[in-house]
Structure 1
Amino acid sequence: MKKIILLTLLLSTSMFSQNFTGKATYKTHQKLDLKVSTSKGAPNSDIQKKLHAQLMKHFQKTYTLYFNKSASTYKQNQELSSPQVQTDGIQIRIGGSGGGTDVLYKNVADKEYINKTEVSGKRFLIKDTLENFDWNLTGETKNIGNYTCYKAIKTRKEIRTLTSMTDGETEEKEEEVTIETVAWYTPDIPVSNGPKLFWGLPGLILEVQDGKQTIVCTEIVLNPSEKIEIVAPKKGKKVTQEKFDKIMEEHTKEMMERFKNRRKSKDGNSLHIEIQG
C-alpha cells in the first residue's frame, strides 16, 4: 500500500497562536455503480468498463483548505479537464455546479457558511447555518502521515431519487437510505474544521468516508511562508441552501429533457445509462 506523506513544518510551541494559519490538500474518490444497456440487447461490458474508468477519473479531484482558528476557504485546484465523458460514441455530460470556480467559506465561530457556485453561467451565494453533526467520538485511532487521528462517526437518513432513461422514457424512483459518515481527526492541529462542510470535532479532520465518497488529506503545511487571507465571497445571488437545492432540482430536470431529445445514436439505437453514486 502506498503511504501518504504529510509535509509539516517544525514550528515553535507558539504556532497555534491567534495568528495561526495553515493549508491542507485533499483528494476525493467516488465509488460508482454504473449500468449501461441498449434497447436491443444485453449490456456491453467493454463500454461499461471504459465509461466506469473515465467517470472514476472525473470524480478524482484535488482541493485545498486554507484555515485559521475560526474560519476557512475550500477550493478545487485548477485542472485541465473536460466536463464531458466520451467513449465509443457515447457522451455523458456531468451536470452540477461551478466546480473549479466554487469557493466554500466556513466560519466555525459563527457557525455559518457561504458557498459561491455557478450553475449555467449564473453565480450564486449560498448562505446558511452550519449543520450540527452531533458526532459520536470513539476511542479508535490510526496514523495518517505523522499525525495520530481519532475516529468519529455519525449516521443520517435521506431520500434519494434515482433517475433512469430507457427509449426516451424517464423513470424516477425514490428510496430512503441510511448514510454513515466516518471522520478521522487529529487533536495535534486544534482547529474544528475539515474538508467540504465537515467540522465540529476537537481537531482538524484529515479523512472522511461519507457514503461512497472518500476524502483524504495528502499534505499539510502549518504557518506557510506565503500569506493566507481567508475572505468570504461576496458576489452572486444570495440564496439559502433550501432555495438552491430547488434550483438544482429544476436544472437537473432540464438536463434530463435535453438528454431525452438527443437520446438516439446515429444508427437508431436508444441508450439507457444509470449512474448511482
Structure 2
Amino acid sequence: MRRITLLSAFLLLILSIKPAFAQHARFATEGIIEFEKSVNMHAQIKKYINKDNEAYYIPAFDQYKKTKPQFRLLKSTLTFSKDKTLFSPAPADESDRGWFSDIPATSQNNIIYTDLSANTSIVQKTVFEETFLVRDSTRKINWKITSETRDIAGYSCRRANAIIMDSIYVVAFYTDEIPVSGGPESFTGLPGMILGVALPHENMSWFAKLVTDKSLPSGTLIAPKKGKVTNNKGLLDTLMKVMKNWGTYAQHSLKSFMM
C-alpha cells in the first residue's frame, strides 16, 4: 500500500508540474510583447535644477512631489517576427501632464521598425513639435553576457551588460526561448529576445509584462513613413545646432533623443 501511495503521489506531482514545462515548449518566433517603461521622475527632475533656475524650479519640484507619483509608468508593445520587430509606444495618459512632463527622458518618442537580418532600422522620432524619420543601421552594442538569471513575464532570462553612447551603462535580460535578436526601443543584438532593460544611471527601465506567442497576419509589421528623412548623424547635427545655447538642458535632452 505504501508503494502505491508513493507512486500515486509521484504521478500527481508530475502531472501538476507538466504545464509549467510545457508553457514555453514551442520557441516563439512571432508575437506581441507588452512592455512597461518606468521613469524615476524625482531623479530626472533633479538633473535639470541648477543655480540659475532653482528659485522657481525647487518650489515647483516640491509641489510635484506632493501631487504626482515618483515613478511615471508608460506602456508600449513590441510586435515581432523571426527577423523583424516594430516597437510602438501607447498613448500617454494626458491627465499626467503638467510641470516637468516635457522632459524628453520621461516620455516615449520613438516608433521603431527594425530589420534584424539587414541590421537596419527606421525610426519615427518626435522631437518636441517636429517629427523625423531616421533611417540607419542598428546600433552595434558590445554585450557582455553574465551568469545571472531572472524570470520576466514567465520566461527565464540571462543578464548582459553594455555601455552605449560612450557613457550609458545598460543592463539587459534576454531569453533564448524567443530566438529573435530584438528588444524594446533600439536595444538589440543578443542571442534571444530582450525582455528587460535597465539604465541605472539614467533612472529608467523597460520590462515585459506579457508575452503573447501568436502568428501575425500578413502586413502587420510595417515601417513608419512620417517625418523629415535623415540618419543618426544628420539628426545629431540638427539637434546640436538647435540646442547650442540651451546649456545643461541640451546635454540631457540630446542624450534622450539620440538613445
SS for the counterpart of 1:151 is strand
SS in 2 for 1:238: strand
Does 2:232 correspond to 1:247? no
Q: Name 1:81's counterpart in structure 2.
A: 94
Relative to its length, the structure with more strand (as a share) is 1
| 1:110 maps to 2:99 | no
SS in 2 for 1:50: helix
Instruction: Tell me, yes or no, if the aligned pair for 1:27 and 1:216 is still in contact at 8 Å.
Output: yes
Matched residue, 2:38: 29
- Determine the C-alpha separation between the residues in 1 that align with 2:123 and 2:74: 18
Q: Distance in 2 between matches of 1:27 and 1:117?
A: 19
Higher helix content, 1 or 2: 2
Distance 1:95 1:250 in 2: 19
Q: How many residues align?
A: 223
Contact map agreement 2:114 2:120 (CA 8 A) in 1: yes
CA offset digits 1:119-138 (Å, max 9, x no partner) = 45443210111122121111
SS, match of residue 234 in structure 2: helix
Return the offset for 1:115.
0.4
Q: How does 1:120-131 map to 2 (within 5 A)?
A: 121-131=129-139
Could you list the per-position Cα deviations for residues 27-47 of structure 1 after superposition, in whole angstroms to 9, with x for gaps in the alignment? 112232534588899899764
The question of 1:68 aligning with 2:81 is answered yes
3-state SS of paired residue (1:85) = coil
Query: How far, CA to CA, are the matches of 1:193 and 1:181 in structure 2?
Result: 15
Structure 2 SS opposite 1:232: coil
Quick one: distance in 2 between partners of 1:46 and 1:120?
Answer: 25
Q: Contact (CA 8 Å) 1:21, 1:228: kept in 2 or not?
A: no
Residues 207 and 228 of structure 1, relative CA distance in 2, 3 Å threshold: farther
Q: Which runs of 5+ in 2 are unaligned?
A: 1-21
Counterpart contact for 2:109–2:127, Cα < 8 Å: no
Contact 2:141–2:164 (CA under 8 A) maintained in structure 1: no
What is residue 196 of structure 1 aligned with on the other side? 185
Aligned twin of 2:11? none
Q: Which residue of 2 aligns with 1:235?
A: 226
Deviation at 1:245, TM superposition (A): 1.9
Distance 2:53 2:138 in 1: 49
Fraction of identical pairs, as percent: 22
Aligned residue type for 1:244: L
Distance 1:146 1:205 in 2: 13
- Shift in Å at residue 155 of structure 1? 2.4
**Partners of 1:187 and 1:204 within 8 A in 2:** yes
Give the conservation status (yes or no) of the 8 Å contact 2:143–2:190: yes
Counterpart CA distance in 2 for 1:215 and 1:192 is: 16
The alpha carbon displacement at 1:21 in A equals 1.6
TM-score normalised according to structure 1 size: 0.66
Q: Residue 137 of structure 1: which of 145, 149, 154 is its match?
A: 145
Q: Which residue of 1 aligns with 2:172?
A: 183
Structure 1 residues without counterparts, runs of 5 or longer: 1-8, 87-91, 159-177, 260-273
The CA distance in 1 between the partners of 2:92 and 2:56, in whole Å, is 32
Is the contact between residue 22 and residue 66 of structure 1 (CA under 8 Å) also seen in structure 2? Answer: yes
SS of residue paired to 2:98: strand
| Partners of 2:109 and 2:126 within 8 A in 1 | yes
Q: CA deviation at 1:48?
A: 2.6
Q: Distance in 2 between matches of 1:103 and 1:239?
A: 15
Secondary structure of the equivalent of 2:222? coil
CA contact (8 A) 1:95 1:252 kept: no
| Conservation of the 8 A alpha-carbon contact between 1:74 and 1:195 | yes
Q: 1:253 to 1:191 in 2, by over 3 A?
A: same
